[in-house]
Amino acid sequence: MNKPNQIKVVLVEPSHPGNIGAVARAAKTMCIENLVLVNPEEFPSGQARARATGAVDVLERAVVCHSLKEAIADCTFVVGASARERGLQCPEITPDNVGARVWQELEQGNVAIVFGRESSGLSNEELDQCHYLTTIPANWEFSSLNLASAVQVICYEIYSAYLKKSSTDKVVNNDLLSHTNADPLATIEQLENLFEHMQQVLQEIEFFDPKQPKLLMRRLRHLYSRARLTLVETNILRGILSATQKAMRQTNTLDK
Ligand code: SAH
């Protein structure tokens, strides 16, 4: 039998071990028990264990990664949490819609909710790896919640959507195109390979200049992120890219 799909709480570079413990506790109270830590400053830690109290098991099972890319590689739906508005950013989703949406997405793959550093939140590059950005509405003059409080609010929304779903079994509809399970969604890792390949080809055909990158690759990421590519579609695009490279090489050889 296949492993059931998971919801992961991902913390990017948390600096206070106490917060990691408090996050484990917050998530576990809402029945979310998969914690992924990207380059934590101090872990494992006695302070984290003390703050986790009844959720030490979540800490013990926490996975440590070296990059966000690695943390979300096996996911098909990723939401980043940020207190700040950004310039060019991924589409926004309200925390209550995150709750409803997560249960739809779990039918197709693993889901990650990504939280940023206590000091500086998530970088634009990290947010570009997310399908959506969610912001907890708060005092406009002081909107930055403590990390574990933010995790609590989002996990509460996910759990409360689960309770609603099981009582009515009605799931809020979403704005993106649905697709059949026969053609699974591409994982973040498969999409990253596509973006790498695409950048390489765009460079070869001199459409992309790495010395003057502007926003091209970020805009393309957002475009493909909105499309929710399946694995088959990703493979078609990569096939086109490979054929382009082959044609380029043949032309170059003929020119010589
Ligand atoms: N000073 C940082 C905020 C860090 S708070 C900044 O300016 O971005 C640590 C993390 O908690 C944030 O990266 C975010 O993931 C989460 N968080 C805090 N307040 C939030 C809010 N109002 N909405 C969504 N996430 C929030």
The domain limits of the chain are 4-168, 188-255
pLDDT band at 104 (very low <50, low <70, confident <90, very high): very high
- Choose the residue to mutate in 37, 82, 89 for probing ligand 1, maximizing ligand atoms within 8 Å of C-beta: 82
Q: In whole angstroms, how far apart are CA 150 and each of 154, 156, 196, 238?
A: 6, 10, 33, 38
Q: What DSSP designation does 42 have?
A: S
Domain 188-255, CATH: 1.10.8.590
In this structure, the residue with its CA closest to atom 5 of ligand 1 is: 118
Of the chain, the percentage scoring pLDDT greater than 90 comes to 82
Torsion of CA 112, 122, 56, 109, to 10 degrees: 10
Of the chain, the percentage scoring pLDDT greater than 70 comes to 93
Count CB neighbours of 213 within 10 A: 11
Q: Which fold has domain 4-168?
A: Alpha/beta knot (3.40.1280)
**How far apart are the C-alpha atoms of 139 and 125, rounded to whole Å?**
26
Of all helices (H) and strands (E), which one includes residue 133? strand 132-134
Whether 166 has a pLDDT exceeding 70, the answer reads yes
Task: For 119-150, write each residue's pLDDT tens digit.
Answer: 999 999 999 999 999 999 999 999 999 999 99
Q: What is the pTM of this model?
A: 0.88
pLDDT band at 169 (very low <50, low <70, confident <90, very high): low
Whether 170 has a pLDDT exceeding 80, the answer reads no
pLDDT band at 180 (very low <50, low <70, confident <90, very high): low
Whether 34 has a pLDDT exceeding 80, the answer reads yes
Residue type, 221: R
Whether 5 has a pLDDT exceeding 50, the answer reads yes
**Could you tell me which residues are beta bridge partners of residue 132?**
79
Ligand 1 neighbourhood includes 143 CB (under 6 angstroms): yes
Q: Which residue from 37, 40, 39 is spatially nearest to 63, judged by alpha carbons?
A: 37
Whether 171 has a pLDDT exceeding 60, the answer reads no
Which ligand 1 atom lies nearest to the CA of residue 122? 13
